[in-house]
Amino acid sequence: MAGTTAPVEVEPDLDHTGNDAAAATADSEVRQSTRGFIATMAAIALVALAALVVGGVSWTNLRAEQAAQSRDEQILETARQVVVNLVTLRHQSVDEDIQRVADGTTGPFRDQFTSASGNFGDVLNQGQVESTGEVKEAGLVTSDDEHAVVLAAVTSTVKNTEAPDGEIRVYRMKVSLDSVDGNWLVSDVEFVA
């Protein structure tokens, strides 16, 4: 058999631009998808960071507010106790009563009170004085970490040789307090109208 040769058809050059365009489009879509993913992740990270910052600031503010509230409660408690001690004095326990007042005070006020306490004790003993006090209302005027001012409405029932059944007395006091070694102490007391 003689060799027959079949004609071979030669394909004309294929236009690869269609395939190249499809490949380019696919590449572009992948790049856009990647960019979109990166942008989304960056936005999520930014929102998370903002939430952390806002949460941190809120937490710090909350802690500061709680600390200020606790400080103010201590101030009011100290002012109430010292004011009650000032108007609760008995001739039977004069030394202890005077010491209790002195323990809650500081500075020049303490010095004045303790220097006058000897004469004060004599007056209590001579008049057989028994005074019992109570704070009706107390409120902060100002406060910071070092100094505070409190207004207090106080009553006391005073019994003595002239009033054996007792007399009720009403006082309004402006009480200044200072923080001394982490404790609030009264540094001044003024009687106000």
Summarize pLDDT for 71-114 with one digit per residue, the tens: 999 999 999 999 999 999 998 999 999 999 999 999 999 999 88
The confidence score (pLDDT) of residue 147 equals: 97
The confidence score (pLDDT) of residue 4 equals: 59
User: Is residue 25 over pLDDT 70?
Assistant: no
The confidence score (pLDDT) of residue 177 equals: 98
pLDDT category at 2 given cuts 50, 70, 90 is low
Higher pLDDT, 37 or 110: 110
Is there a contact between 158 and 131 (Cβ–Cβ < 8 Å)?
Answer: yes
The confidence score (pLDDT) of residue 9 equals: 58
Q: At what angle do helices 94-103 and 107-127 cross, to 10 degrees?
A: 160
Distance of alpha carbon 32 from alpha carbon 190, whole angstroms: 77
Task: Please provide residue 150's backbone torsions phi and psi, each rounded to the nearest 5 degrees.
Answer: -125, 140
Distance of alpha carbon 121 from alpha carbon 97, whole angstroms: 10
User: Is residue 6 over pLDDT 60?
Assistant: no
User: Is residue 3 over pLDDT 70?
Assistant: no
Average pLDDT of 13-42?
Answer: 67
Distance of alpha carbon 19 from alpha carbon 26, whole angstroms: 10
Higher pLDDT, 46 or 5: 46
The confidence score (pLDDT) of residue 56 equals: 83
The confidence score (pLDDT) of residue 139 equals: 96
Q: Where do the DSSP E strands lie in the chain?
A: 89-90, 130-143, 147-159, 167-180, 183-191
pLDDT category at 8 given cuts 50, 70, 90 is low
Instruction: Supply the mean pLDDT for the chain.
Output: 86
Two structure tokens written together for 108: 């020049």
> What does the pLDDT look like over 128-176, one tens digit per residue?
999 999 999 999 999 999 999 999 999 999 999 889 999 999 999 999 9
CA-wise closest residue to 188 among 65, 93, 104, 94: 104
Two structure tokens written together for 185: 């102490």
The confidence score (pLDDT) of residue 99 equals: 93
With pLDDT > 90 as the criterion, what percentage of the chain qualifies? Answer: 52
